[in-house]
Every structure is written in C-alpha cells, then in structure tokens.
Amino acid sequence: MACPVSPVGDIIFSRWTTPILWTLGHHGTLRFNALQRLIPEITPKILTSRLRQLERDGLIERTYHPDIPPRVEYALSDLGRTLTPVFRTLTAWGTDHLAEVEAARRAYDTARAEEEAWADG
C-alpha cells in the first residue's frame, strides 16, 4: 500500500512551494516583485515556474490587471487557504520539537564521530 501522504507532500512540500504559500497566506495578495522581495533566495525564473504550478494545482489565483503598465497579483485560492491549519500545525510542531531534533542530531553526530575515531584507531 502506498503512503497516502506522499501525493500531498509532493504538492505542498516541493522546493519553494511552502515558502510561497506561507508568504501569500501571511501577507495576502501580492505582486510578483513583492513576493520575490519577501522570499529573496528564490530566483525570478524559479518563482515564475512555481507560481504557474501552484496556479495549475488550484492553490493560488493569478489576477491580471490590464492597466498601464499591466500588473499581475497572486493570492491564495479558496483551496490554498485550506492549507492554513496545516501550516499552523507544522509551525506549532516546530516550536515544540525542533530543539529536540537539533539535540538528537548533535548526539548522533557526536556518537558517529566517536565511532569513526575508534575505528580509525
């Protein structure tokens, strides 16, 4: 039996998707440049690609305004807003448990380093 979380993870946890969705959820409707300023690590090419995919998935809405100059705005769709409780839950989990994860990593790394030092003699 396939993991039922995998298809969901593929949609919302692919690279850059979560920061884009979180930013739109947190800041509301944004133009491309504003979105990029809020996620400075993302390149314009990748942001464009992810926005298109998120629009295709129905998670965001793209609104074109034929002003001069034309402008485009992005916002969470109704479907995208259903992810807000998921992000809240993940944020709470991080607040409650990330320190434990970091401690476990340090303990693991220390133990591995000691094993390797012992094996190297």
pTM of the model: 0.82
Taken as a whole, the chain contains a residue count of: 121
Average pLDDT of the chain? 92
Residue 121 is predicted with a pLDDT of 63
Over pLDDT 90: what percentage of the chain? 74
CA–CA distances in Å: residue 33 to residues 48, 80, 81, 114 = 11, 21, 22, 49
> Taken in order 36, 42, 43, 47, is the CA torsion positive or negative?
negative
pLDDT in tens, 37-76: 999 999 999 999 999 999 999 999 999 999 888 899 999 9
